Structures are given as structure tokens and as C-alpha cells.
Structure 1
């Protein structure tokens, strides 16, 4: 039996996507799917984060209950897509992921016949899907974007975010696979059943100590952060979910289950306004991996985000892409129409100066 069936169950279909080879050789991605009981024209595509892959069956359960067919993508060199000859999780440009994201979206919409596609990105997957949705904003592929604790900036002191980034940029030109960092074990230990966590997952694909942080990979991430900081123009509705507080990695387990020990939630809140024209920010009291909070917290997280946030998003999906959303004041729901020039063209402010519509749930 395939390892994905051991953890997830036989109701999932696993499909391998053949991609263009890179300097290490063969490259694949993996698309998992699970259909709702009642056929629907709506689907959600989940994209994981760094040192991760899809194993959260309870997440699929909630979307199935909401009437969506569920899909999850293990990106190249992650999880089920990691091949023996590959450097785990390594990439030198986040745009390379467009290939498997485009193919997954084509399968969901063209082959499987879905009219609405909601893309759900977690952590690094939130950064990757945001940039992809921006590049595909005129193609009508993504109908709504949900970001769970998206990684929008480096959770390090100012010196490391600036001077450190410049050093990594130069180093990656000559030694892209040079190790420049490591992940702590605390986060992984807080998740896995063998170390006091609540989840079971493949430790070969998601080791507790993580995989080495390499210069070429970190450069790609920092370039993605810089592009987002300049401002994106995502045209579909966006729901951003972030905890109300961050905590140190050495914090007690009780704190870890209710705070983000991986990311700075202030970065998430600030950068959310730079995603597009209609952005909703939800701040439940839950950990970075809100979908993976401990069972007593997980139910509250789903109630807050899947019921309130998802309902809000779905109402907007059917109308937002056909409506002139206009410019809005920050953190308000009042919509003001854009003024038009005598020639009828919109007077567009620079993207970085156009505030997003941000609704706090």
C-alpha cells in the first residue's frame, strides 16, 4: 500500500505529474484528489510549505463538508514528489513552480470540469501561490485565494533581513547549494505523535529537524519577498489567516499551540494589504499551522475561518471578478468608486500606494 494511503486513506487518488527536467535530472510533482459526496463544480487546491507535504486529512474533511472537491499538490522535490537523486525541497526560482501549478489547475478545471477554483496556500505555499496568482491574474484561473499563515518576510532581526539577504544573494551566485541555516526541532516535535504532538506523518519527507537551508533556495525566497513587498495586483478575493501573536521557539507547548513560533504575524498583517484589491484578514487565536493546531483548538480554528471566512469568500467569488471593486479605505468595508478622466480611463495610483480592501473578521 502507498504511504499516502496509510495516513490519508484509500479514498484519495494520487496522480504523478511529469515536469521538465532540471540540472539534477527527472522532476515530478504529485496531485492528490478526493471528491465530495455530492458532485459540485467547486474545488480547492492545497499547496504546502517548506519541509512539508500534504497529510492533513482533517483539512480535506472540512472542505468536503463545505461542498468542495479537494485537491492537494506535493510540489517538486517535496513529499511524494521527492526522488532519490534530488536535493530535498531545493529550488532556485519560485517561478519554476508555475509549471506544476498550471498543470494542476488545468486538470481541475479542464479535465475534471470545475467552474470555481479556490487555492489554499500554507506558509511558503502562501508566498508561492500569491506570486503565481499575480502572474496569472488575467487568465481567469484562480477564483479565490486563501492563505494560512503565509510566509511574507523573514522572521529575523533587521540586520539579517537586510545585510544578511545581500550576503546570501552574492553567495548563491557561486555556491547555490551552500548551507546557510538550519531549522530547529522544536516545531516538528510539537507536531509529531512520537514527541508529544497530535499528528502522524512521514519523517523521511518531513524530518523533525527539517532539511538544510541552502543559499540558492533562500535567495529565491527573499526575491519572492521583495516582489511581494513592492505590491501585487491579485484580481480575485483573498483571505489571509494569521495568529494573533508570535512566540519564541523555546516557548512552552501550551503557548506553541496558540501562537506562531515560525513567523512574525506582524509581517503577515502588514504585507496582506499589498496583495490585491480585495483582501480579508482573519486573526484567530491559533498556532502558525492553524489547520494543525491540537484537537481542542482545531475545532475553534475551523469554526472561525472555514465557517465565517470561507462563507465570506464564497459570497464574493461569484461577484467580485465581475464588479469594479474600486478603491477602499484600509480596514473598512466602504467602497468608493474610482474617478474617471475625461477620456474614460481610470486614474491609477502607483500600486504600492493603492490600499487593499482589508476586512478584519
Structure 2
């Protein structure tokens, strides 16, 4: 880190709700937001944004004739971005940078347009401009009336934290003083569910009894067993949502948290998921993020933990390698909100900021932590995507 960077606002729309207050209230209980949803030819467990939030998105969709043709991925990003810059006190005239990513982009809209093409052998007029991945940041820039740089990208499930890396880089380079960064995802479609099931990582609608140890709660209580290190089957569940953070140069008076360090690494592709048993990519990214920080000073780690056997365990093994003297308190939010692909990393940042602000550790109901901190000063946040693209962000109060 060459320059101190403050996170001056963060906003989201997710199964937790549509504000920081709603998110914190949701974190105070042990309930999850996972429900069974019917698709065209199947049913699946998913985590959806609440009904009131959906109504707000529909209001946004019909607020401008140009917005009616946009995918939920873009609308979620616009909604969260509006709230983020409002809390930060930014205006469009600030010409801040924008970097918003998505693993899959306009998922539902693309599938709808493609289905129509197969039937009619003709593409609709807006099928290309409304489904290209680059339209997320472009539409947000239009909506916020800013003229700064705008970047959209996909680095699968570490997309949002890579957006944060880009914002940090631009600010450190002196090319921008402010950057809006985050991720947005609306992946709850039958084809996306089918793809995850084909990988054999998705949670079953009705989990088999007796697939966990006696000390774990029943399988039906928590369909996604993210960070249940004793699970015998994969339990990933897809979620939807968006989360945006406002980055500013320096240690500002209104900072919610300071970015103390950052790290990144990529593993050599050896198989479809490409993450080693001890997640060497995470070992490198966490070590880089720590820099000169003593690992013993890290109070908690918000893990990527997708709810798969290998994914959860490999990250845990990497943490044991880096924090060999004292394992920090470990947590994740995917058992509650599902895995929102490109948006998931920023939702984890939001979780970390809430813990720093409220000075309360948010636990996983089926994981025992021995080192829950009385005071929370420093938190590591992890994300990784297909191809072993790992990012670690170190936050301090």
C-alpha cells in the first residue's frame, strides 16, 4: 500500500435486505434466506432478495423507459450504487471511477434472447447491447451522471474483490481520488442451476439424513453447509444481489474501515476448479495482504467458503498454513445468503465492516471458534474464482 485508502460507504441489495441496518439485523439471528424455487423443469434451493427489495427494483425498472430492457444484474448494480454514493456524499460531478464486475452478467436476459433466437432464427434489436458484460458500469455511470473512467469485468467469483484491487491501483497511481467498486449477480435461472448441478457441487432439495456428524445440526436446518468441515456432500446454493463500496484516498473522517493490505494470486490450471488441497493461491494472497502485519494480530477471517467439501477445506488448510501460531475466528455468510458469484466478495467486505463497526463477531451456527475476539480491529476477507484467482483484503478499524 502506497497511500492510505478509506472505505467511506458500502451499500447492497441481497437476501439480507437492502440496507446496512437490515443486513445487520439479519446477521443477528441464525435464520437463513434459502428457499425452494420452482423453475421450468425443476426446483432448486436458492437465496433471493426479499419481496420489498424486488418491488424497489421493479420501481427502478419502470422509472425510465430505457431501463425496462435491462437485466436484473444491471438494475441491482444501479440500486446499490445509488445508495453507496448517497451515503458517501458523492455526486456525479465528482467524476469518480467505476469498476463493477459480474461473473455471468445479464444471465436471465441472455437466456431469454437466445431462446427467442432458437425459435425465430432472428435476434432482437437490443439483444447485444443489453447482454454485453460491459454494460453494467456503463449504465451505472449513466444513472449517476458521472464522467469518470468506467470498467466492467468478470473474474468469476473473485470479481468484486478484483474490482477493489483495480480501484486501489488507480488511486495509488494518482489517476483518481475516488472509485466506486463492487459486483452484481442475478444468476437464479434453470440453466445456471443445471450447470452447477453438472459440476456436482449444488445442494440437494432434500438433503439425506445422517450426512453430518452428531455435533452438527440436522441437514434440513441449514441447506448450505458453508464452513461445516465435517459435511459429506457438496451444499453450494446460489444467491443473488449486488454490493458496492466507495473508496477514497487518505484516512478520511467518515471512513467505515481502512484498507490495510491487499493480496492476489493465481494457481496453475490443473483441473476444472484448479485449487490445490491447501489452496496455494490463498496462501500467497493472504501472505501478500498481511505484508508486515503480524498474523497473530488478525482477529477474524471472512472466508470464501462456497459450501463445497474441497472448496471449504482447502481454504481452511491454507489458513492453518498462514496463521499457524493462532487461528483467527473464522466465518462466512454463504450459509445464510448463498453464493452470489461475482458479488459475493463485496458482500463479505460488508460483513467485515459491520463486525468492525458493531464490534461483534458474526458466527456460523455449526462451526466452533476458539478465538472469538473481544475487540475486533483487523479482519481478512477472502474470495477465489474458477481458475484459482484468489484475492485477500485486510481491513482495519
Tell whether the structures are fold-level matches, with TM greater than 0.5: no
Q: TM-score, normalised by structure 1?
A: 0.30
Which structure has more relative contact order (CA 8 Å, sep 6+)? It is 2
Structure 2 length-normalised TM: 0.29
